[in-house]
Amino acid sequence: ARICRNVADALLPDVALMSNSYSTEGIGIRVNLMKLFSFHPIIEGNCQQALETQNNNLMSDKPCSGLHAYFDDLKFALLFADKLASDGKTSKAWELVHATDRSTFLLAALAVATPVNTGNGHQASTFQEKFAHLMTDDWNALRAAIQKAL
């Protein structure tokens, strides 16, 4: 119940979740929204830190520019899944929640990847690889899941 209140508080006054908070898809929607709100500032900070410490061109010129649009698409997918669930279209809602599960898993991996180079370049390149995967492959898969649900 605490997670549901925190997510609802983060969305207010703009959005009220309509799906059953005790259904499988309702729980998935709320948990993924909570993760999205938690990981967004961390990943944005890590991305900015990677830019500041960039001295060997591991990150492109504007790697963080697409983050807001990615998070907007992810939030839209979750809110659309909520609408589908409240309309009784649970199979479509569940497919969309499953797609966002993959995205939030990748967000978690990116949130714990350190963008600071320790000398051998391994950690920074790991951050770069995870970030590139998130902004290309995962984003395309998320958009495809949204299109399929429409």
What is the tally of structural domains in the chain?
1
CA gap 147, 95 in Å, rounded:
12
Residue 74: pLDDT band (50, 70, 90) is very high
* Residue 63 pLDDT exceeds 70: no
Identity of the residue numbered 7: V
CA gap 86, 21 in Å, rounded:
10
Domain range for 56: 2-149
| Mean pLDDT calculated for residue range 50-70 | 69
Give kind and range of the element (H or E) at residue 140: helix 139-149
Of the candidates 131, 129, 110, the residue with the CA atom closest to the CA atom of residue 66: 131
Two structure tokens written together for 30: 């709320």
Helix (H, G, I), strand (E, B) or coil at 62: coil
Q: How many CA atoms within 13 Å lie on the side-chain side of 45?
A: 9
CA gap 19, 148 in Å, rounded:
20
Q: Do 52 and 61 meet the contact criterion of CB atoms below 8 Å apart?
A: no
Of the candidates 145, 130, 143, 125, the residue with the CA atom closest to the CA atom of residue 56: 125
User: Which residues are CB-contacts of 132 (< 8 A; sequence separation ≥ 6)?
Assistant: none
Q: List pLDDT tens digits, range 124-144.
A: 567 778 888 888 999 999 999
Q: List pLDDT tens digits, range 1-45.
A: 444 455 555 655 566 678 887 788 888 888 888 888 888 888 888
